[in-house]
């Protein structure tokens, strides 16, 4: 378990201690960021400093953030800006690659990655609507290199009526869907066949920011292992206090008494279905007690 972050470091007054915040203040053009974002930037992006990465920022109109990222990452970084407003092209004169287009346009993304190739980091500080954030994630994640990431800002929009939320199809609910996908790599969990399940290794949630960590080689189907060492033969009591142990006991009794049914596959399937239903009903009933923790 990690040590908690000292309270002092969480206060805006201490932001000047972060290199990324100093780069933000030193930018000669306007950039507007929430104070809590800088500690997240520092935690997520410091590992890319002074490396030849390709960094893409969506939403660069006033230009201030482009100069912030250039100073933060160093001269070896390739900084690419995307904006829907053609005025943003002016920053090309300062050595930035600028692309003009809508982040909710799938064809724009196809053309973009056909032109620039795969990238290391995408930072979405664009329009913040559900459609923009979800389409951006779907289109960008397959083109992010291993050990790279997609960082989506201002996800508090998923809770605001001005962005059409709360909605079943909010960006945050999309994130929950992808979390289900990460867990579907466990062989007994069958939830989603989304191809991103084989790309997104982990998802980090911060206040107003979501980070998708990309590592294809780590996205494999899990399987049980054992070190085959000596067992202490200790009784497993994990369900002793839950009542589900009674269902497990019933399962063992049925398996013993109905052993003769092993010769009849349909009967075996039927008995498994009955046990599954017993588990389901028990847990559904038990879970009602947890409602108070969701309010």
Predicted confidence pLDDT, tens digits, the chain (295 residues): 445 555 544 556 688 899 999 999 999 999 999 999 999 999 999 999 999 999 999 999 999 999 999 999 999 999 999 999 999 999 999 999 999 999 999 999 999 999 999 999 999 999 999 999 999 999 999 999 999 999 999 999 999 999 999 999 999 999 999 999 999 999 888 777 789 999 999 999 999 999 999 999 999 999 999 999 998 888 777 766 665 555 566 666 666 666 665 666 676 677 777 777 777 777 777 778 888 888 8
Contacts of 258 (CB under 8 A, 6+ apart): 267, 271
Sole residue written with tokens 């459609």: 131
pLDDT given at position 30: 96
Cβ atoms < 10 Å from Cβ of 216: 14
The Cα–Cα gap between 278 and 249 comes to 12
pLDDT given at position 252: 64
Which CATH number applies to 7-218? 3.40.50.150
Written as one string, the DSSP assignment of 45-59 is HGGGTTS--EEEEE-
> Edge to edge, what strands does the sheet with 97-100 contain?
97-100, 78-83, 54-58, 119-124, 144-152, 209-214, 200-206
CA nearest 68: which of 123, 133, 149? 123
The Cα–Cα gap between 21 and 15 comes to 6
Is the Cβ–Cβ distance between 126 and 132 less than 8 Å? yes
pLDDT given at position 229: 94
pLDDT given at position 90: 98
pLDDT given at position 1: 46
């Amino acid at each position: 378990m990690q040590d908690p972050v000292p309270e002092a470091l969480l206060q805006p007054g201490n932001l000047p201690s972060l290199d990324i915040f100093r780069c933000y203040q030193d930018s000669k053009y306007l950039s507007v960021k929430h104070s809590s974002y800088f500690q997240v930037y520092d935690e997520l992006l410091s590992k890319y400093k002074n490396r030849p990465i390709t960094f893409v920022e969506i939403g660069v109109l006033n230009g201030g953030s482009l100069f912030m990222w250039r100073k933060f990452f160093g001269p070896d970084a390739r900084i690419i800006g995307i904006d829907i407003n053609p005025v943003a092209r002016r920053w090309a004169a300062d050595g930035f690659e600028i692309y003009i287009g809508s982040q909710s346009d799938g064809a724009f993304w196809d053309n973009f990655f056909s032109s620039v190739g795969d990238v290391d980091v995408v930072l979405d500080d664009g329009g913040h609507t559900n459609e923009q954030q979800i389409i951006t994630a779907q289109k960008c994640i397959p083109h992010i290199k291993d050990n790279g990431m997609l960082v989506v800002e201002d996800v508090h929009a998923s809770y605001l009526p001005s962005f059409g939320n709360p909605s079943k199809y909010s960006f945050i609910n999309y994130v929950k869907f992808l979390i289900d996908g990460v867990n579907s790599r466990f062989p007994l969990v069958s939830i989603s066949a989304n191809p991103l399940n084989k790309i997104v290794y982990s998802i980090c949630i911060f206040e107003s920011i979501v980070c998708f960590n990309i590592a294809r080689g780590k996205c494999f189907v899990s399987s049980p292992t054992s070190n085959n060492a000596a067992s202490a033969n200790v009784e497993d009591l994990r369900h002793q206090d839950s009542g589900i142990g009674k269902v497990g006991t019933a399962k063992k009794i049925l398996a013993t008494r109905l052993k003769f049914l092993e010769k009849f596959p349909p009967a075996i399937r039927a008995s498994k279905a009955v046990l599954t239903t017993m588990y389901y009903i028990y847990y559904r009933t038990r879970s009602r007690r947890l409602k108070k923790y969701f309010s």
